[in-house]
Structure 1
Amino acid sequence: MVLSFPGSTKLKEFLTEKILFGNEPSPELIAILLVYFVQGILGLARLAVSFFLKDDLGLTPAQVSALMGIAALPWMVKPLFGFISDGLPLFGYRRRPYLILSGLLGAGAWMALATVVDTAWAATVAIALSSLSVAFSDVIVDSLVVERARHEAAKDAGSLQSLSWGASALGGLITAYFSGFLLEHFSNQTVFGITATFPLIVSIVAWLISESQVERTQDWQTVRHQVSQLRQAITQKSIWLPTAFLFLWQATPTADSAFFFFTTNELGFQPEFLGRVRLVTSVASLLGVWLFQRFFRTLPFRTLFGWTTCVSTLLGMTALLLVTHTNRAIGIDDYWFSLGDSLILTVMGQIAYMPILVLAARLCPPGVEATLFALLMSVTNLAGLLSYEFGALLTHWLGVTETNFDRLWLLVLITNLSTLLPLPFLGWLPSGQASDVTAPELSSLTLPASPATTLETELSAVAAEKELITELQQ
């Protein structure tokens, strides 16, 4: 028996059109959004990790940058997680069990940080395991998003990506201020213990995923078939050229670790204020998602990347005013300057990053959605790792330490100018906009006959099951 309440239809229409960007509310959509939401909530421990490495373990800026690069390694092998998810189901399911396991792994990693970790190497392992937890769950939920995005109309291209990343930004927004507030009153280990509860949400909502059970628990033939599909897909010029550009765009060195030491050791920013900065950047991320969805979604990729790169580089140079204390000379307080700078740069960065997600989703051919999307994303993550390692080398070469910031201005200058290096390769991107990148570009692929249990067959069954469930609910 289905109960109907006055105004429920209007409420559903409001949620669908205004809140969910045209996506019908469903238990699976709730599960998808909650997984992304948890990814944002895990930012609660971001400041605690930074202070733990800096103060409790006594690491230098270069060491912290190198360690964070190593801890990001799980994001480099996301295609492996895609292969495992697509071809090696657990207990007859490809998605749900892996989400449950990833949540349990994340909870265990954060509890280890809260209790037994007291060396740099142990911290690296624990942080890497927590990263593995998020990376694996990200592959699973990304595959669900890609499957749904395939059925989007051209006018709705990118709506689910925008909604998903909006959920992540909302999670970050809720915990942003508290990441610093808690550190003012509790130890780093206490914050880690609180954070350990959030990955369990992923394990719980995994049961909301609508998934058909497959007959075989292991199917290496499917994996071999997917490797063949993946090999043929990545040899397409329309895929590897944009991927190469995204790699160059993300691989430029960063000064983030050195800048954190400067703001805490030189400027004396306390955890509570740094939490406020994170709050501002979380709001800015949401604003960036909304601006992309409202104004920039229809712009050609080349135009959008070109302008956002140039503007972000120009605005990034304003950090020179802070590291040289010039802002004080012109009457701008360090705190207000940092807040304004973080706000503007985050908005620009989010607008520039959204097309990456849309482009990657539109490039994925049927049969290897999780694997190819994970591969495209892992390329940008590998570039991010190189960005941290290049930044660590520059920080070391320039002699920037936890107390010596004399040449930090040069580090900021070099890292900002390096972001302009990919601009000569803008021609590698598609000339059109997101809705122009569709299956016809990949339809010329000659793929081998699919075995009966390929993901493509499974998706048809899952889609039919979803339609049946929807009809029963109505």
Structure 2
Amino acid sequence: MSRNLRDRRGRGDAGREDVEVSLGEGPVPSYDKRGGKKGGLLDLEISGVPATDLCAILSVYFVQGSMNLSRIALSLFLKDDLNLSPAQASLIESSSYIPWTVKPIYGFLSDSLPLNGYKRKSYLQICGILNSIAWLFFAYYVNSPALATVAIVGSAVGTACSDVVVDSIVVERSRDQETAGTLQSLCWMSYATGGIISSFFSGKLVENMGSRGVFKLTALVPLLTFLFSFVLHEERIKGSESKKPLASRIGSQTKRLAAAVKQPAILYPVIFIFIFQATPNPEGAFFFFKTEKLGFSPDFLGQVNFVSRVAMLLGIGFYNRSLKRVPLRTVFLWVIIVGFLLGSTQLLLISGYNRTLGISDEIFALGDSAVLTVLGQLSFMPLLVLAAQICPEGVEATLFATLMSILNSGSFIGTSLGASLTQLFGVTSENFDNMFSLVSTCLLLQLVPLMFLKLVPDDLTSEE
């Protein structure tokens, strides 16, 4: 079950920490509106937000969703080109979580260290270029696990930093609740659109272009962030505008965060969030099993990925319609139990019993992926809600970003534990004798968070 929510990288409004610091030290950064005759394209507004700003914002979310284009190519590259074992490939891919564990730092930098006079657009430009260079490096120069790790981390830094910066822009432009709701909906639609489109073509492109060819194509995607950042409205900061030193800001916020986290009402749910995410994830070994043992083609893997992305949207819709009024502790209880039961269906695919039931491997994999992705989304949504609910006034934005970093740290540990168990059970690209035992062990360990459910307040609901 948990393998379907690891890709989320702790999104939400995690980038608001820099906005909070601005509120503490002065006015929220404003954006200059183009002067001149009204009615031109540059003066067009959508939902109270300048159209050019909206294009810049949505482009970042679209790019984040579209980075799914390289997901299958990356896994196949590590397996076939670098000849890595399932455990080794899992560890290298898990390095992409590392830059997401330090999200508050990007916010502090963006807010306190303007580049070329800009606190937002300059960072978006650097992020777009860094992300693009990382994939070009992957396409032309990566020939070892170490270089692959460098490229993966470089791309993740560009994506994570741009995520923080664009979230802060969204908050700055959301002047009222109606605008905020509309803007957030547009952002998620843009993210989902990028993910669905890239998933649809990801497998076929690998078959036609090879992994390195897909990396070259992926390098073009972040350039959208770079290009659209130029149309973002932002006042240039003059040298006379003094700010408190970065070290002073970080020290002040760290003290406030430490005081907040020490409170049991915050500390206990944080422990649960971490444990929930840190359960072992055998996704890397499962990918090898599907390609080597079951013989799934890149094109079919792309179809599975596409179905998963559509199912993700269905999961969000179902949660908002049916579970918003249900206490979070109850939601977690049933998500864990149902996740264990439905996750056990993977054992049917591993044992081949699905064929005894008259269900082909391909059909079973598609259905299994769709169901588990919906369930994964149902478990991710209350995590975001819980993180938002426990944030006290005064440090809500920075603490939320910190909680998202903790969530991603848990995901990193969960993937690493999955890789360690893969090694322990001796599962390789040629030996899947213990695959059943590996997945069974991971499923059982995913029940561990049940022991810590009491750390979640029993009176919180998403609607609140």
Alignment of 1:79-98 (within 5 A): 79-98=104-123
The residue identity in structure 2 corresponding to 1:383 is: G
Which of 202, 212, 218 is residue 195 of structure 1 equivalent to?
218
Q: 1:24 to 1:86 in 2, by over 3 A?
A: closer
Report the counterpart of residue 359 of structure 2 in structure 1: 332
Q: Please report how far the alpha carbon of residue 228 of structure 1 lies from its aligned counterpart in structure 2 after TM superposition.
A: 2.9
Partner residue of 1:56? 81
Distance 1:303 1:279 in 2: 30
> How far is 1:382 from its partner?
0.7
- Which residue among 56, 77, 85 is the counterpart of 2:102? 77
Q: 1:243 to 1:219 in 2, by over 3 A?
A: same
Q: Decide which of 238, 253, 262 is 1:226's aligned counterpart.
A: 253
2:220, 2:90 → 1: CA distance? Answer: 27
Structure 1 equivalent of residue 63 of structure 2? 38
Cα distance in 2 between the residues matched to 1:131 and 1:86: 20
In the alignment, residue 387 of structure 1 is paired with which amino acid?
G
- 1:140–1:370 CA contact under 8 A, matched in 2: no
Q: Distance in 2 between matches of 1:161 and 1:246?
A: 24
**Residue 455 (structure 2) pairs with residue 432 (structure 1):** no
SS at 1:252's partner residue?
A: coil
* 1:139, distance to aligned residue in structure 2 (A): 1.9
Note if contact 1:162-1:293 (Cα within 8 Å) is conserved in structure 2: no
Distance 1:187 1:106 in 2: 20
1:161-310 matches, cutoff 5 A: 164-211=187-234, 213-214=236-237, 215-216=241-242, 219-220=245-246, 221-310=248-337
How far apart are 1:392 and its partner, in Å? 0.9
1: CA distance, partners of 2:56 / 2:264:
35
1:233 & 1:149 partners in 2: Cα distance?
27
Match status 1:355 vs 2:382:
yes
Match of 2:424 among 397, 416, 420: 397
Alpha-carbon contact 1:89-1:217 (below 8 Å) kept:
no
CA contact (8 A) 1:65 1:389 kept: yes
Structure 1 counterpart SS, 2:432: coil
Kept in 1: contact 2:82–2:145 (CA 8 A): yes
Name the structure 2 match of 1:20: none
CA distance in 1, matches of 2:226, 2:243: 21
Q: CA deviation at 1:265?
A: 0.4
Q: Which moved more, 1:193-202 or 1:214-223?
A: 214-223
Q: Can you give the 5+ residue segments of structure 1 that lack an aligned partner in the other structure?
A: 17-22, 437-474
2: CA distance, partners of 1:428 / 1:38: 36
For the aligned residues, what is the CA RMSD?
2.8
Q: 1:203 to 1:189 in 2, by over 3 A?
A: same
* Secondary structure, counterpart of 1:422 in structure 2: helix
SS in 2 for 1:332: coil
Map residues 366-385 of structure 1 onto 2, 5 A cutoff.
371-385=398-412
Corresponding residue number in structure 1 for 2:166: 141
User: Is the 1:104–1:199 Cα contact (8 Å) retained in structure 2?
Assistant: yes
The aligned length equals 420
On the 8 A contact 2:132/2:221 being kept in 1, the answer is yes
Distance 1:262 1:96 in 2: 43
- Go from structure 1 to structure 2 and tell me whether the alpha carbon gap of 1:230 and 1:353 turns closer, same or farther (over 3 Å shift): same
Per the TM alignment, residue 85 of structure 1 is displaced from its structure 2 partner at its CA by 2.3
Report Cα offsets for 1:48-93 as digits up to 9, x if no partner: 1001100000000010111122342111222222322233333443
- SS of 1:401 mapped into structure 2: coil
Letter in 1 for 2:56: A
Q: Distance in 1 between matches of 2:433 and 2:155?
A: 35
1:253·1:391 contact (CA, 8 Å) conserved in 2?
Answer: yes
TM-score (norm 1): 0.81
Report the CA distance between 1:2 and its aligned residue: 5.3
TM-superposition CA deviations, 1:423-446 (whole Å, max 9, x none) = 23223223222343xxxxxxxxxx
* Structure 1 position 300, deviation (Å): 2.0
* 1:117 and 2:142 aligned: yes
Counterpart CA distance in 2 for 1:399 and 1:365 is 47
Aligned to 2:22: none
Asked if structure 1 preserves the Cα contact closer than 8 Å seen for 2:324 and 2:463, the reply is no
Name the CA shift for 1:291/1:267 in 2 (closer, same or farther; >3 Å): same
Name the stretch that deviates more: 339-348 or 206-215. Answer: 206-215
For residue 220 of structure 2, give the secondary structure of its aligned residue in structure 1.
coil
Structure 2: distance between partners of 1:372 and 1:145? 18
Amino acid at match of 2:349: L
Q: Does residue 129 of structure 2 align to residue 104 of structure 1? A: yes
Tell me the equivalent position of 1:464. Answer: none
CA–CA distance in structure 1, aligned partners of residues 433 and 320 of structure 2: 42
Deviation for aligned residue 1:308: 1.7
C-alpha distance in 1, partners of 2:385/2:228?
25
Mark the CA change 1:138 to 1:225 in structure 2 (over 3 Å): closer, same or farther.
same
Give 1:357 shift: 2.7
Q: Matches of 2:55 and 2:391 in 1, distance apart?
A: 24
Identity of aligned residues (%): 46
SS in 1 for 2:242: coil
Partners of 1:213 and 1:232 in 2: how far apart? 35
Of 444, 451, 454, 1:417 maps to: 444
CA distance in 2, matches of 1:217, 1:127: 34
Q: Quick check: 1:86–1:94 contact (8 Å CA) kept in 2?
A: yes
In 2: Cα distance, 1:158 partner to 1:355 partner: 19
How far off its partner does 1:211 sit? Answer: 4.4
Within 2, Cα distance between the matches of 1:89 and 1:406? Answer: 55
Indicate conservation of the 8 Å contact 2:269/2:455, yes or no. yes
The answer to whether structure 1 residue 68 and structure 2 residue 96 are counterparts is no
- Given the alignment, which residue of 406, 421, 432 partners 2:433? 406
